Structure 1
Amino acid sequence: MSPASLTMAGILLITVPGVAYGGVSLLQFLMRNVPGYLDNPVRRGLWRAGHAHAGVLVLFSLVAMVYVDQADLSDPVKGLVRAAIVAAPILMPLGFFLSVVRPSDTKPSKLIYLTFLGGASLAAGTLTLGIGLL
């Protein structure tokens, strides 16, 4: 792997304890009947989605870093692809979590748009990477 891909992989691996901590937090909310979680289906659903997306996208992004170095793309484009793919597991969960921060939130705030930004980043990065691999 190139040094740039190794750096991105290192950043992604550093986020794994955060994802694990989030899972433990959600488990504690369930076990302790924390107000504002179990009784708030919007918050519960978005936080579960945020945790799931974080875990899956971190794993996906780690695998994608191996392929970036194999793609027939210029170095600047490879850098953009790396950044776009790594942005997704950061932006999407942040959108899910931050859009319903308060236990009383019954609908997502405008921060939910971070999920769309993360999705667009993932789509652009993976589409470019796929084209570069063909």
Structure 2
Amino acid sequence: MIAMIELSQAATTTAGVAILAAVTVTSGGYFLTKVVTGKVPTTAFQTAFFRAGHAHAGVLIVFGLVCLLLTEATALAGFWRWLAGTGVLVAAIAMPAGFFFSAMGKGRERPSRWIALLYLGALSLIAGLITLGIGLLNV
């Protein structure tokens, strides 16, 4: 049986913002169709990074919403609750930004310094997942 979880106001607000942010993934999809149809000239590196950025954005938003819901079932509080509930959602912004921004620029063949966002997003993803996992095991 699935227990109903009552969402806190903070979780409801965060979920609403994440759902609205998901609309931006559609604009990324539109841009990506222009890339793969040759309407926007890119290098193979840029095409790969744009695809990866778009894929990570969509998947991580959905995964982040699931983590936000699961956080409500934990006894975590304060910073740890925030990290468990939003770590994946922060990654859903930072990781795609790292892919997209580091690939921008005419004829780019290697990532720029913006790649740091990808690594910061990965740290947020890992920290959020570990915190949520521990929180769920300690219920």
Relative to the length of structure 1, the TM-score reads: 0.91
Unaligned runs of 5+ in 2: 1-6
How many residue pairs are counted as aligned between the two chains? 131
Contact residue 68 and residue 86 of structure 2 kept, 8 A: no
- Residue 33 of structure 2, aligned match among 24, 27, 38: 27
Relative to the length of structure 2, the TM-score reads: 0.88
Report deviation, 1:41. 0.7
Unaligned runs of 5+ in 1: none
Report deviation, 1:82. 2.5
Structure 1, 113-122 or 78-87: larger mean CA deviation: 78-87
Report deviation, 1:72. 2.1
Contact residue 8 and residue 82 of structure 1 kept, 8 A: no
Which position in structure 2 is the counterpart of 1:79?
82
Could you say what the CA RMSD is over the residues aligned between the two structures, in angstroms? 1.3
Contact residue 81 and residue 126 of structure 1 kept, 8 A: yes
1:5 matched to 2:11? The reply is yes
Which position in structure 2 is the counterpart of 1:14?
20
Which consecutive segments of 4 or more residues in structure 1 shift more than 6 A?
none
Matches within 5 A, 1:45-124: 45-124=48-127
Report deviation, 1:32. 4.2
Paired-residue identity, %: 39
Report deviation, 1:83. 3.3
